Amino acid sequence: MYIVACEMAHLQERQNRAVASVIHRKYSELGQVTFHEVSVLVVFVTAFLLWFFLSPGFMTGWGDKLESTNASGAETSVDDATPAILVALLLFALPARPTFLSALRCQKVDDPQQSLHV
């Protein structure tokens, strides 16, 4: 019985090492995190925070601050759809590649008079 248990332990250890090597190899094949992946992460974290602090109960949320009554006396409030719509619009507005950042860089000009002519 002891021999079978030892064999099972060695087999389990070999399997664990094989799985760990496959995971390590696949992880190294992933490459670097792209701008698009980071922007999606930031947008989803923002959505989570907006939903959490909409009306948390232990403090006044941003949705509670925006509640009001309109001219006819009906109460208006912010719903869960408001952050969802904002997130959807942000995902459409954010570019997949940050090519717009190159337009913000200053370029050295040899002749200042040439920079004035368009």
Q: List, run by run, the mean pLDDT of 10-residue segments along the chain (118 residues).
A: 72 89 92 88 93 86 78 76 91 81 66 57
Enter the tokens of residue 58.
Answer: 């232990």
Question: What whole-number distance in Å separates Cα of residue 54 and Cα of residue 65?
Answer: 9
Query: Whole-prediction pTM value?
Result: 0.61
Q: Do 80 and 48 meet the contact criterion of CB atoms below 8 Å apart?
A: no
The pLDDT value given to residue 12: 86
Per-domain residue ranges of the chain = 1-31, 32-68+76-94
Q: Do 70 and 76 meet the contact criterion of CB atoms below 8 Å apart?
A: yes
Q: What is the DSSP letter of 68?
A: E
The pLDDT value given to residue 111: 61
Q: Do 11 and 62 meet the contact criterion of CB atoms below 8 Å apart?
A: no
Q: Do 13 and 21 meet the contact criterion of CB atoms below 8 Å apart?
A: no
